[in-house]
Structure 1
Amino acid sequence: MAKLGLVARFLRWFNNFFWPGDYDRDSAKASYKAYVDSKDVASLDTAIANFQLAIDQYRKHKSPSLVTSLINCAVAVWRHYEDCGRPPKDLDMVIRLDTEARDSWSDDKNSKSYAFLLNALATAYSERYQRAFGASPVNPDEKKVAFEEAIKSYTELKDHPAAGSMRSAAKTGLGIILRMRCEFEQTLDRLEVGVQQLQDALLEATEAGEWTNAGAESDIIDDIKATCLFNLAALYSIRYELMKDSKKIHDLNIAIDYNTRAKPLLEGLRRPELLHCMFNLARQLWLRWRQTRDQNDYDAAKQMAEAVKCHQALDKSLEPVIDHILSVLAPSHSLQNRIDDLLLPSRRQSSVVSNDGSSRRTEGDTIICS
């Protein structure tokens, strides 16, 4: 074992003397591949450590391989972030690495690799913005910068000539982060921009689906459609909550329509957002019934609320709202005496915090070749 360690150190020294950083870079790639195959976190830690050694050498010698290694190291750290409990330090490191890669870029920016980098940065900043809110906010003082950087990167990616399939992801990502801002900060500012981006992405996916056969590619298109519909419903629901004019019922109708269209897609894809979609539908149908007293809304709201109540993955925080809806819809309930006196919990409790786009990196497991 001692001899093997000595040989390894000699090989690293020899390679770093003639080809600084390349030995560590290749070792990092091998360790990352081992992690993908085995899910052994020790291999992932080794990959990250070796990428950092290579980066140190490439910085020192101003090597053209620096940018690629920064991106690849960020890919490995993001994988650690997603697979190992989402520690904030990993997210910070991803942003530092990808930002340095962007600032150090000297090649053609119209390349696929640069588009990949923009997507990675946008996703990481979107994740940072989302985590700045909630019961245990992370880096709340950085939410404004995170939002602006995410918008900047998604916009540049959307207009990038080599974006390819990432163009739809960029439009969807823009819609999602604008939806998050409207929801978290209770504002209608730029809501229409978010709606437009999601509608554009939905239209593109719908048109692409007409030429796609069943299979993996069809599932990808359905995934985009489900994401757009789900977040469009959320945006119209937010506007319904915040607007104070005659359009309120119109916005509620649109939110119900989008959630109704999203539900079968989420079911088919087995997406975790399905339960939230059902919850939102139950609540929105109930709200509309309160205004219209339409028996169809009453029946649909009751059926959906009962389905949510029986769902094995029901979030405990949603239970009181569902119980309240069911109690109001119960035949024995005295509507005249109680319905207008019972207040729903705030929108924040009942709104959906989606993972769509905000925590996804297109081709996020891909190590870029040098």
Structure 2
Amino acid sequence: MAIKKTETGWLVDAQPAGRGGKRFRKSFKTQAEAKAWEAWLKTQINQKAEWAPDKRDIRKITDLVDTWFQHHGVGLRSGKDTYARLKAMMAAMGNPTVENFDVSMFAEYRTKRLSVGISANNLNREHAYLRSVFNELERLGFWTKENPLAKLRQFKITETELSYLTLPQVTHLLDAISKGRNKHALLVTKICLATGARWSEAEELRLSQIHTGLIQYARTKSGKVRSVPIQSELETELREHHKTHGEGERVFGYAFSAFREAIERSEIVLPDGQLTHALRHTFASHFMMNGGNIITLQRILGHSSLTMTMRYAHLAPEHLQEAKNLNPLALLTLG
């Protein structure tokens, strides 16, 4: 604390809570008034906690991640994978202390990752993972400050066109798969095309999930159970396959590599990252092109948000047909 004589009087320049605490500056006409106010400030420091400097938080950022996993992540379906990814992120940032971690540090880490070829989509997921850690710790009472990543914007992703197979391509692909040696790949592919399932959901199918006239998917990405009707011929084929080639409760063995090889043999070109997922897009695209309902499609695919399903809406036969009939030129012609 200091009291200085100035041209206009006496200036009190004080930090009653010490270095890092709140600073006060005020001028008085007399030295006595300045000393009295300074003394009053000293009495207030023990009564007003907000004046005190923040306590140092010397925990490592991985300590927060460990706490998140112990109290929340361990119960998530993909919790272990997310935990491992978070730990790798912290290691790449040098595992700073909590008090030194801020948004600029993560932004710098993100920029470096982008420069070495990591996709913006991937980095957005990492951002979301770490942001959710702070949000959950706040809900649990382990974090009381503002989320350091709350105001950081994610990278804007340019939406790519979803690739789907035409009916001739589907026939060509099924023929290419049937010529391979893997005994599971063909039927797994049929399940994806018939129900819109993800490859892993179809490949890991169990006999107990096949009911009369439908397949029930329980181990889904969203964690929600969904049921999709199938034709009786496909159900019979599945049950016969399990009798001949099943492994315990599982209907299929692993067949991803066989599918990839069949795509290469067929010379069908698919966008990067849309190998087996092209089957799901193919189901959804043909569903809409043949007059399917967008809400029904959302339930079949298991999308938590209709926004995701709306990517297929433009394929509906009636999509934007109103533009042809309700524009002013058309109305003038009709008139």
How high is the TM-score relative to the length of structure 2?
A: 0.25
Q: Is the radius of gyration larger for structure 1 or structure 2?
A: 2
Query: In proportion to residue count, which structure has more helix?
Result: 1
Query: In proportion to residue count, which structure has more strand?
Result: 2
How high is the TM-score relative to the length of structure 1?
A: 0.23
Higher-RCO chain (CA-CA 8 Å, sequence separation at least 6) = 1
